[in-house]
A and B are shown apart, each in its own frame.
Chain A
Amino acid sequence: RKEVEQDPGPFNVPEGATVAFNCTYSNSASQSFFWYRQDCRKEPKLLMSVYSSGNEDGRFTAQLNRASQYISLLIRDSKLSDSATYLCVVNSLITGGGNKLTFGTGTQLKVEL
């Protein structure tokens, strides 16, 4: 079983739609959680952190359920510019105080006219 699992998509949605991505992780000792966005042939960029209380950044809402080891991302009013791959990322502490990111395979979103 992969440490972080995501539906690879693609999700093809019309502009203005609401789309939800889900992710599960297997390491219950994981410390922090993120969604990264990756455009084609570019490096991943932090979209937002994910907290148990839920957090919102404009059209984006992220939620963490530690009991179910489940992470979600909701995008409202999709824009063409939201087309990208969305990576679910889990951060774990490693020996000596460092940390290691474990990525899902990413979910591809295509927003269409």
Chain B
Amino acid sequence: DAGVTQSPTHLIKTRGQQVTLRCSPKSGHDTVSWYQQALGQGPQFIFQYYEEEERQRGNFPDRFSGHQFPNYSSELNVNALLLGDSALYLCASSLIVAGNSGNTIYFGEGSWLTVV
């Protein structure tokens, strides 16, 4: 049973470029969340996707966008990259059970993005 898989694991981009990060959730999970973790900080919630729609968004600019596909996999896109976007981007998957906040959330190993 594959866990959460992310790609690429590491990448380097130049300021102003665009990047796409990919995530496949754990088998049986239908919800994908993305988090950004800057050095020395805890992960920050970017947004969550369920049923191919963005359910909720954290405090991130519109340069950050995403998509969820019918097979539940997801992409995170960041446009017009800034140096400050350098971080570990984590994908987390879970299975939504209505009204239950105790659903176990599983993280992928993350994608390390460096913007130069």
Contacts and interface: CB of A to CB of B under 8 A. Distances in A.
B84 to A, nearest CB: 17
A32 B100 CA distance: 10
Given A93-B99, A97-B99, A102 B109 contact: no
**B contact patch SS:** loop
Given A43-B110, A95-B56, A96-B50, A87 B42 contact: yes
Contact of B56 (A4, A32, A41, A94): A94
Interface string A82-112: 0000010001111111111111111000000
A93 B101 contact: yes
Interface string B41-61: 111110010100001101000
Interface string A32-55: 100000000111111001000000
Given A31-B101, A44-B90, A92-B101, A100 B40 contact: no
A45 B41 CA distance: 16
A44 B107 contact: yes
A33 B35 CA distance: 18
Interface in B17-67: 31, 33, 35, 40-45, 48, 50, 55-56, 58
Interface of B: 31, 33, 35, 40-45, 48, 50, 55-56, 58, 88, 90, 92, 94, 96-105, 107-110, 112
